[in-house]
Amino acid sequence: MEKLEKTPSRLEMTNILSKLLKETAVDETEYVVNLSLGQLAPGYKQVVFNIAEKMMLSAIAKGYGVEKILVAKRYKKLGDLGEVAESFSKSKGKSKLDVSEVFGELMKIAEDSGEGSVERKVEGVAKLLSGLDSRSARFLARIPVGKLRLGFSDKTIIDALSWMETGGKGESKRIEEAYNVIPDVGILAKNIKKSGIDKAVENVDPELGVPLLPMLAQRLKSPAEMIEKMGKVHVEPKFDGLRIQIHFKVGKSHPGLVSGSQILKPVQNDKISGGFIKAFTRNLNETSWMFPELSGAGEQIEADEVILDTEAIGVDEERKTLANFQSTMTRRRKHDIESIASKVKIRFYVFDIMYKNGKSLIHLPYTKRREILAETIKGKGVLEVVDYVSTDNPEKINELMRLELKEGMEGIIVKRADSDYIAGRTGWRWVKMKEEEGQKAKLADSVDCVVMGYIKGRGKRTAFGIGGFLAGIVDGEVVKTLTKVGTGLTDEQFRELAARLKRLEVGEKPKEYGEVSKTLIPDVWVTPSLVVELAADEITKSPIHSAGYALRFPRLVKFRDDKGWRDATTLKEVKKLFKLQ
């Protein structure tokens, strides 16, 4: 970890990780991978420590027998819990604990809940720290508070696994394809160590309760080009909603209980019935708690098990219209969810099915999947199957585009009739279109950017605490600068942005950020987390921004809480948007 922390080179990181994985025992591989990523399990498993910085300060004080006030004072000076723990540790020799033991103890701490759990968590971390050498203490102290951040993600681990087996990145694509179906890089690494790449990645099928990485749409403005690249297509409306993947398993009948959806609980499995319904966002977070109405979805599903791809949209029952994204996202507040749910009704517009009754459907053509979907979802209720029109006529695509815009939709999604379900924006399988062909040259789509830091408020904006922010896009594992945004925000957006960024402040530029021009350096850096959707008049070439491009007249459209920072727009996509202009 110390070697990884010191190197800025992506290639060197991959090399270090490949050597580490090569030396790791098979039964410890999963633990080593997850700990190096600063976690105990992938996000969708929801293994959360619930340890605040103050609790970690108490654990350090207890573990090393020093006053908490001294620990707090040193933290104020150093600004890093890891360095604080290391500075109090007297143990310079070898740790008493091995990786399996550390992982096991951390898992116990994370799973502890209920009365007295805060004290037990502090005690558990303190005991762990006292059994480690000072360097190990530095890294362990950062993990429970989410501050390990060595500057790499699952993608680098995938490259390292290829490197470990072949000495290069040649097998990364195959490994990534398996990861896209079961996105647990720890288990994948263990399987590759155990039986090699070929056996570990062949015939990987979706599993109920494990979210697949979603299929995404490319951008094109020309329907003629769409037909040329894709042949016969299905055209669907593009909704301004929240992408949700639904996993459903029907419960079994038991005495005194009703079988089917009535016994399903949207938040957790019903242990008696064995049934569940789960909802995952596009960044694989489980958000079942947001949608209590899903407990009734089983009444429409004619199957024992399904995985569905949907768009969740707020519905204004009185006006019979669809709400916008921001209205739908009011659901992100956990408290008083029943009250919020009663005000904003949600409907799930279903457009794909990837799994049914134990069988994977991802390698079937889209047309066939839609036939199966029509047989599986019955009637209209909380679930509604999205209509589509089949065509190979470019003018028909333009006509449908005009119709959907008139209906208040964002545009259309055009899908190749024979395409299978593949994660990401690969090939010309799905294409989105937000404006008619032949319109005056302008930016064809918005851009999802990572907020990298902010400029303190001056003049009128002193009250907000923020005057503007630096935003970037993703290039591989690195965030590159694309724009500075200081206008196009309402007073309310400035206040909300300031509150969100306050929680993400860090003392120095995060390792995930690439080169930043001196003229662009913000007053305050923030850790990569918040994604914002930006509109602009156009993309221009830029000698200042590290992306090589800039946005002209950028403005904030909305906060994208459904996206992790690695889901932001890529440099490759920005280059395509530039050409589309």
Interior angle at CA 437, CA 431 and CA 443, nearest 5:
75
Parallel, antiparallel, or unpaired: how do β-strands 233-238 and 276-281 relate? unpaired
The C-alpha atoms of residue 396 and residue 390 are separated, in whole angstroms, by: 10
The residue length of the chain stands at 581
DSSP-assigned states of every residue in 14-69:
HHHHHHHHHHS-HHHHHHHHHHHTT-SS-GGG-------HHHHHHHHHHHHT--HH
Distances (CA, A) of 447 to 72, 220, 559, 568: 41, 15, 12, 8
Contact 221, 227 (CB under 8 A): no
Alpha helix ranges (H) inside 132-217 = 134-140, 154-166, 172-181, 185-201
Q: Look up residue 32 and give its two tokens.
A: 């080593």
The C-alpha atoms of residue 199 and residue 197 are separated, in whole angstroms, by: 6
Contact 448, 557 (CB under 8 A): no
Q: Which residues are registered as beta bridge partners of 321?
A: 316
The C-alpha atoms of residue 306 and residue 357 are separated, in whole angstroms, by: 6
Contact 473, 565 (CB under 8 A): no
Q: Is 238 annotated in the active site?
A: yes
Which phi and psi (to 5°) does residue 285 adopt? -80, 135
Residue identified by tokens 């720290």 is 129
DSSP-assigned letter for residue 256: T
Interior angle at CA 131, CA 126 and CA 136, nearest 5:
95
Of the candidates 532, 474, 462, 461, the residue with the CA atom closest to the CA atom of residue 500: 532
Task: Kindly state the greatest CA–CA separation across the chain.
Answer: 76
The C-alpha atoms of residue 99 and residue 473 are separated, in whole angstroms, by: 35
Interior angle at CA 519, CA 513 and CA 525, nearest 5:
40
Name the catalytic one among 121, 221, 238, 249.
238
> Which residues participate in catalysis according to the annotation?
238
